[in-house]
Structure 1
Amino acid sequence: MIGFTGATTTGLWLSNRNQIRNGEAELQANAEHVHQALVEHAHLGQGRSSKDWSPTEHAEVRQELRDHSGVWATLWIQQPDGKLVLPNASHIKIDKNMIRAAMKAQKKTQKKDPKILIINHEGRKYLSILSRTYPSGEQLWSATKARDTERSQNEYLGWMILIGVGSMLLSLMTITLMVRRIVRPLMQLSERCTALTADTLNQEPIPEITNAPKEVRQLARTYAELMERLSLSWDDQRRFVSTVSHELRTPLTIVQGYLRRTIKRSKGLTADERQGLQTAEEESIRMRMLLDDLLDLSRGDSGQLQLNQELVNLGQLVDKVADLSKSNLTHHKLEVVNNMPEHATSEALADPARLQQVLLDLIDNAAKYAPQDSLITLLLHPHADGIAIDVKDEGIGIPESDLPNIFNRFYRAKNSSVSSGTGLGLSVVALLMSAMGGQVYVQSKEGEGSCFTVILPKTITNFKAKS
């Protein structure tokens, strides 16, 4: 648009300049004809001046000026004393005010070599030039009305700009419609890619795209087929994990039982043999817990995770969890703090076995990343959203950048490389708390320990009403 407007304006300027040049050439040509006639008739030049004119010669000069003047152009002679010799005005009107304005404008320029001037007089533009100066002091002038092209040029420029702007707007509308046909489906695909997770593979398939170009429709179909293949692969993986976890639990349980009985009943075991059997039992227990985590996650993905919700006395449950943990926490201190008011109930709706599993996992996680002889605290207290249980430790803490992802599967904090683990424990905790209608979050600073808080909602009234 800028280039178009610039080219149009330049074209109009060149046209106007050419008109001025043509007018100048015309005035010079008329003045030259008058000069030749004056010389041929010995009116001026060759020692003759206007002082030597007789009345007849004066009339002849005026007639000569009239012959080369017209409706548009006027020629006149200025005598040395300032008097004007004008054309014979029998057929045209001589505008003396315009003549005076032209000579005045030329005098203001103070040029030795006068050029054509554009003057404004009574709302019109005139081209004026001092065509010739004679040795005796006479000056031959000529002037013509400038053709009124400015209005037509302005109209032309206005129409060109209007047409250009209209064409540009039409082009923008056309391009916008075309881009929307292409960009909108691509944006939908991009949003689906951004929101794609293992849990959303089977949800809301991509709608059929009909108003997009062929290439975009083909891309959408390819993406839908890819999602379908990923969904099938993910389903096969979950079934495999579920089946393997379930099948391995039974032999591990048998191995764990035989190891326990062997340790208890065998009397002739050496200290090294007994230590080896105890290590094998601990590892079998750890493998059993890992399989349980995998099985819980698989059931949660497939919607088959079953819970037995009931009213649970959280104070008693916390004490029970503390007793179970103390036997395993040989190198840590465990403290239980109950901050529930005396008049408030500590009952909440939960699955007691699953809630116990959650607390044991959090205590085990705290012990794993805390130094020996450090304190682990179980704190029961009221919360705005229900009843909360805090598991605090004095361990290495979690970097701030890792906190948003700490409950993701297989995710481990950057500073946890020194400790063993699979990255499944906290994801199982989050899954179980969500299934029980509760929530879990963490507060931690690197080097200052962590505090995991599980919150169970206040659903006691509703539960009693249903009962």
Structure 2
Amino acid sequence: MASGSNWRSKLLGSLEGQLQLATYTAVLIGFTGATTTGLWLSNRNQIRNGEAELQANADHLNNNLEAHRHLGQGHSARDWSPTIEEEVRQELRDQSSVRTTLWIELADGRLVLPTVGPIAIPQKMMRATMQAHKQDPKTRLISVEDEDYLTLLGRSYPTGERLWSSAKAIDAGRIQNEFLGWMILIGVGSMLLSLITITVMVRRIVRPLLHLSERSAALTADTLNQDPIPEMTAAPKEVRQLARTYSDLMERLALSWHDQRRFVSAVSHELRTPLTIVQGYLHRTIKRSKGLSDDERRGLKTAEEESIRMRMLLDDLLDLSRGDSGQLQLNQEVVDLGLLVEKVADLSQSNLTDRRLEVLNNIFIDESSEALADPGRLQQVLLDLIDNAAKYSAEGSLISLILRSHPDGIAIDVKDEGIGIPESDLPHIFKRFHRAKNSSGSSGTGLGLSVVALLMSAMGGEVCVQSKEGEGSCFSVILPKPASTASSAS
């Protein structure tokens, strides 16, 4: 069942398949129509030619009979003497042949047959011919003892006599069969050649469209202007026009994306300094002011937290903007991850008043916990992951920071007991502005994890996630070891 579905999808699910199917169908219909029409015309021509031949023989015989005053012009077979009848029979023999037979039906129903010779006279055919014409005067073809005959009533005389002629249709059948054989042979060869030509032409037409599709699939914000579409001079006019339109669209997108980057970078820079000043003044006001009421202090504390959140958002936007423009700078150095994890845990304790945080160091004593990273950026990554874990975990739940060895270096796991991530969202969780479908109850912009992925990539590491909805998540940060440590370990 699956193979049938795949076959239909391949044939009908693509432009190339539909064009091929349409042309194959047209060729098949054309071939069938031409063959059928040819056979019908051939059969009709054979019958007409046979009738014309029989009519010519009958007319010639009638002229001779009238010339000798045996029939026609008031003469009747009742006036024949035995000698005249013998002359008529001899005339019938002269006009007959191996294929053709002529005879006269008298008014009383008797038959005047050709003179007996080496060729047998098919009397059964004669009787069958006259009987068939009595039932249907338009009868042309009859079959007697597995033989087909073409029959014709050549002349009816006023005195009651009728002149008949017939011919075997076996030659017409043989010619028709030969014609059919050649038609099939030539038609099948032509159809195969047509199908091959159609396949090549359809693929040539579709190839530029496939090229545009591949270019679209590989298109990113950074390659909008770096890899222009070449001129498709061999493609059809409509495809060339589509390629030009697509190229113009890429240019407009590149310009729009460039303007967007400049706007985000400029706004982030302009807002970051005022927000830092506002945050500083709020912090000093809370610390130094003595006459504030509890409500006023809570309001200022809320304003300070929101200003911190806005500054972190601007920092994320700046990092993404720098990453897109290739201006993201990091200070790679050897970092002791054991110490850094402890520091990150201490910094997080103040924000996790209603969550439990534990640190597990699973690195063996004789192994180094050093890795290559930017300590400030790595600290930002871990704090973002811990904040993300706390955001989607219940009060009193446990968040674990686990340091462990990894085949590609050293890994730091941030594990929680939160709501987890649906399986359908896992492939997209590190994309910008993407939020899992079960995260609607929590605030967020969808930028935090995309910044984490950007920073880890810039540090030469990676971040991955394992999660099941309702059972929590585990984000793993993997960093390479220093060259000296890696070589000594190997």
Aligned equivalents of 2:476 and 2:169: distance in 1? Answer: 92
Query: Which residue, out of 96, 111, 114, partners 1:69?
Result: 96
Query: Which residue, out of 12, 32, 38, partners 2:42?
Result: 12
Q: CA deviation at 1:342?
A: 4.2
- Larger deviation, residues 158-167 vs 228-237: 158-167
Q: CA deviation at 1:363?
A: 0.6
Query: Which residue, out of 366, 370, 382, partners 2:393?
Result: 370
Report % sequence identity. 66
**Conserved in 2, the CA contact under 8 Å of 1:346 and 1:387?**
yes
In structure 2, the residue matched to 1:402 is 425
Aligned equivalents of 1:313 and 1:304: distance in 2? Answer: 27
- Larger deviation, residues 151-160 vs 236-245: 151-160
Alignment of 1:137-152 (within 5 A): 144-146=167-169, 148-152=171-175
In structure 1, the residue matched to 2:115 is 87
Aligned equivalents of 2:246 and 2:87: distance in 1? Answer: 99
**Conserved in 1, the CA contact under 8 Å of 2:224 and 2:250?**
yes
**Conserved in 2, the CA contact under 8 Å of 1:31 and 1:142?**
no
In structure 2, the residue matched to 1:312 is 335
Tell whether 2:242 aligns with 1:219: yes
Q: CA deviation at 1:29?
A: 7.0
**Conserved in 2, the CA contact under 8 Å of 1:376 and 1:391?**
yes
Do the aligned partners of residues 69 and 111 (structure 1) sit closer, same or farther apart at CA in structure 2, a change above 3 Å counting?
closer
In structure 2, the residue matched to 1:422 is 445
In structure 2, the residue matched to 1:444 is 467
Listed as ranges, the gaps of 5+ residues in structure 1 are 79-83, 132-139
- Larger deviation, residues 450-459 vs 280-289: 450-459
Tell whether 2:364 aligns with 1:334: no
Tell whether 2:277 aligns with 1:254: yes
Aligned equivalents of 1:390 and 1:195: distance in 2? Answer: 32
Question: For 1:441, what is the secondary structure of its paired residue?
Answer: strand
Do the aligned partners of residues 174 and 270 (structure 1) sit closer, same or farther apart at CA in structure 2, a change above 3 Å counting?
same
Q: CA deviation at 1:297?
A: 0.7
For the pair shown, the structure with the greater C-alpha radius of gyration is 1
Do the aligned partners of residues 435 and 24 (structure 1) sit closer, same or farther apart at CA in structure 2, a change above 3 Å counting?
same
- 2:400 maps to amino acid: T
Aligned equivalents of 1:157 and 1:429: distance in 2? Answer: 75
Aligned equivalents of 1:117 and 1:208: distance in 2? Answer: 67
Listed as ranges, the gaps of 5+ residues in structure 2 are 1-29, 106-111, 155-162
| Alignment RMSD (CA, Å) | 4.4
Aligned equivalents of 1:257 and 1:63: distance in 2? Answer: 137
- 2:96 maps to amino acid: S
Q: CA deviation at 1:304?
A: 1.4
Question: For 1:66, what is the secondary structure of its paired residue?
Answer: helix
In structure 1, the residue matched to 2:109 is none
Question: For 2:354, what is the secondary structure of its paired residue?
Answer: coil
Q: CA deviation at 1:420?
A: 1.3
Q: CA deviation at 1:329?
A: 0.4
**Conserved in 2, the CA contact under 8 Å of 1:390 and 1:453?**
yes
Question: For 1:300, what is the secondary structure of its paired residue?
Answer: helix
Do the aligned partners of residues 307 and 65 (structure 1) sit closer, same or farther apart at CA in structure 2, a change above 3 Å counting?
same
Query: Which residue, out of 402, 405, 411, partners 1:382?
Result: 405
Tell whether 2:380 aligns with 1:350: no
Aligned equivalents of 1:389 and 1:456: distance in 2? Answer: 8
- Larger deviation, residues 8-17 vs 262-271: 262-271
- Larger deviation, residues 107-116 vs 12-21: 107-116
- Larger deviation, residues 257-266 vs 104-113: 104-113
Aligned equivalents of 1:186 and 1:357: distance in 2? Answer: 45
**Conserved in 1, the CA contact under 8 Å of 2:91 and 2:114?**
no
**Per-residue CA distance 1:113-156 (angstroms, 9 max, x = gap):** 697776799xx97657999xxxxxxxx99654548344554555
Question: For 2:438, what is the secondary structure of its paired residue?
Answer: helix
Aligned equivalents of 2:356 and 2:336: distance in 1? Answer: 24
Alignment of 1:115-154 (within 5 A): 144-146=167-169, 148-154=171-177
Q: CA deviation at 1:168?
A: 5.8
- Larger deviation, residues 111-120 vs 216-225: 111-120
Aligned equivalents of 1:62 and 1:357: distance in 2? Answer: 123
- 1:334 maps to amino acid: L
In structure 2, the residue matched to 1:242 is 265
Query: Which residue, out of 212, 215, 224, partners 1:201?
Result: 224
Do the aligned partners of residues 280 and 404 (structure 1) sit closer, same or farther apart at CA in structure 2, a change above 3 Å counting?
same
Question: For 1:416, what is the secondary structure of its paired residue?
Answer: coil
Q: CA deviation at 1:284?
A: 2.1
Do the aligned partners of residues 227 and 5 (structure 1) sit closer, same or farther apart at CA in structure 2, a change above 3 Å counting?
same
Aligned equivalents of 2:179 and 2:113: distance in 1? Answer: 41
Q: CA deviation at 1:298?
A: 1.0
